[in-house]
Amino acid sequence: MQVGDTHQAPGPEVTHDPSEPVARADATGVEEMPRVLFTRRQLVAFALFVLLAICFLYFVLPNLAGVGATVHHLEGGDRWWIAIGVLFEILSFGGYVMLFRAVFVTNSQTNPRSRIGWRESYQITMAGLAATRLFAAAGAGGVALTAWALRRSGMEPRLVASRMVAFFVLLYVIYAGSLLIGGLGLATGLFPGGGSFAITILPAIAAVALFAITGAMALVPDDIERRLWGWASRSGRLAQWVARGATVPALAASGVRTAIELIRSRDLGLVGALAWWGFDICVLWAMFHAFGSPPPFAVITMAYFLGMLGNLLPLPGGLGGVEGGMIGAFAAFGVDFNLALLAVLSYRAISFWLPTLPGALAYIQLRRTVARWRDEQGADTGEPLRASAGAAGALQGS
Express as a percent the part of the chain with pLDDT over 90: 33
> For 25, phi and psi rounded to 5 degrees?
-110, 140
Q: What is the mean pLDDT of residues 149-166?
A: 88
CA distance 26 to 151: 15
Q: Given a cut of 70, is residue 317 above it in pLDDT?
A: no
The residues, ordered by sequence, that sit 6+ positions from 287 with a Cβ below 8 Å of its Cβ are 77, 81, 82, 85, 342, 343, 344, 346, 347, 350
Contact predicate 78/290, CB 8 Å: yes
* The pLDDT of residue 144: 84
> For 31, phi and psi rounded to 5 degrees?
-65, 125
* The pLDDT of residue 347: 92
Task: Supply the pTM of this predicted model.
Answer: 0.75
5 vs 108, which has greater pLDDT?
A: 108
Q: Given a cut of 90, is residue 14 above it in pLDDT?
A: no
Residue type, 111: N
Identify the CA nearest to 119 among candidates 369, 359, 358, 367. Answer: 369
At residue 117, the 3 state secondary structure works out as: coil
- Which tens digit of pLDDT belongs to each residue from 343-394? 998 898 888 877 777 888 888 888 889 888 887 766 655 554 444 333 333 3
State the average pLDDT for the chain.
Answer: 75
* The pLDDT of residue 395: 31
Q: Given a cut of 60, is residue 86 above it in pLDDT?
A: yes
Counting Cα atoms < 13 Å in the Cβ hemisphere of 25 gives: 4
At residue 290, the 3 state secondary structure works out as: helix
- Helix then strand count (H, E) for the chain reads 16, 0
Across 7-16, 299-308, 360-369, least confident range: 7-16
Identify the CA nearest to 125 among candidates 394, 398, 365. Answer: 365
Q: Given a cut of 90, is residue 208 above it in pLDDT?
A: yes
**Contacts by 315-322 with C-beta closer than 8 Å and gap 24+?**
315/49, 315/136, 316/46, 316/133, 316/134, 316/135, 316/136, 317/132, 317/133, 317/134, 317/136, 317/352, 319/53, 319/348, 319/352, 320/53, 322/348
* The pLDDT of residue 128: 86
* The pLDDT of residue 238: 52
CA distance 310 to 313: 6
Q: Give bridge partners of residue 35 from the DSSP assignment.
A: 22
Express as a percent the part of the chain with pLDDT over 70: 63
Grade residue 198 by pLDDT with cuts at 50, 70 and 90.
Answer: very high
Angle of CA points 344, 346, 351, to nearest 5°? 90
Q: What is the mean pLDDT of residues 45-71?
A: 55
CA distance 97 to 355: 13
Contact predicate 356/130, CB 8 Å: yes
233 vs 330, which has greater pLDDT?
A: 330
Grade residue 183 by pLDDT with cuts at 50, 70 and 90.
Answer: very high
